[in-house]
Structures are given as structure tokens and as C-alpha cells.
Copies of this chain bind each other. A is one copy, B any other.
């Protein structure tokens, strides 16, 4: 299974604008790309904070054969939303969540954040690629792509314009 981190950031590396939850700042071009690209994945992993921020949108999705796994310390808190094979909640390690997805014959997993999920995946080498949308914005504060003492080196695979000012950079982990 290929595991791919998908993220949009400001030029100074923020995945949220100041204290707003969710990627409220992304351009129309990125939103369009994001909707389309998600269709190419058969599963995704999302942290609980990101889930809370996008809950309405996530719950509105009708079943489309894609499995979303929400990573949370308290799966029982979300028991009402649990739908086997569609929307699952797990407190297992990201590594074992990903292993489980692979065992269930998933082929393309999108890692959708937020900070803790990206950080763990980068630190533990669980992310084969990172697809980063770079918006031409500077925020000075917000939630960061990653947190802690990391020293991760990636390789640039491709770059393309999503619009005049917004670019999409695809990086891969050297070991992948």
C-alpha cells in the first residue's frame, strides 16, 4: 500500500491560518485539486482534531467504498458515528492502523493530518510521499506541518502549478 501525505501550507509552513481550525485559507484551485485527488485513494487517515474541524463535511459524505480512519485517543466518544468499512475510529498506533489497512487490501492511503498525524508519519517513516500545496501566503502563526525535533530529508519528484500563484510539490521518502 502506498501512503501519501496530502497537505496545504502557507509559505511559512502553517496548515491553519492563525487559530482557525482546518485549511480555511486554501485557494479554489487547491480545493478543486483536493476533491479530485481524494477520489484516487481507497482509504485515508485523519486525526481527531482535524476530524472535529471537518466533521460536518466528513459525515455528509455518502458511502463510496472509501474507508476513513479517524485516529483518536477515545474511539468510544465517537461510537455513534462508527460505520464499519466507511468511517472507523481507532486509538491504535498509526503504524498498526496502516498495517491493518494493507491487510484489508487497500492500495492507496491518504494521510490528511493534522500536525500530530503528519509528525508521527514523518518521524516513523510511514509516509511514502508528501504532496504539498504551497499557497502564496504568510501567516506568522497557526498549526504547523510538524512539531518536535525532526530531521527528515525528502526527494522532490515533481512540481506543477495548480494556478498562477499556487503550486503542488510532490516529494518522496528516500527509502520508498
A-B contact pairs, 15 of them (CB 8 A): A9-B12, A10-B13, A11-B154, A11-B171, A12-B13, A12-B144, A12-B145, A18-B149, A122-B138, A136-B154, A138-B145, A138-B150, A138-B152, A141-B150, A155-B165
Are B136 and A146 in contact, with the CB atoms below 8 A?
no
- Residues of A within 8 Å of B, CB-based: how many? 39
Total copies of the chain:
2
B18 near A13 with CB under 8 A, answer no
- For residue A137, CB closer than 8 A to chain B, the reply is yes
Asked if A78 CB lies within 8 Å of chain B CBs, one says no
A38 is an interface residue with CB less than 8 A from chain B: no
Question: Are B167's CB and A11's CB within 8 A?
Answer: no
Given contacts A136-B171, A149-B18, contact A159 B156 (CB under 8 A): no
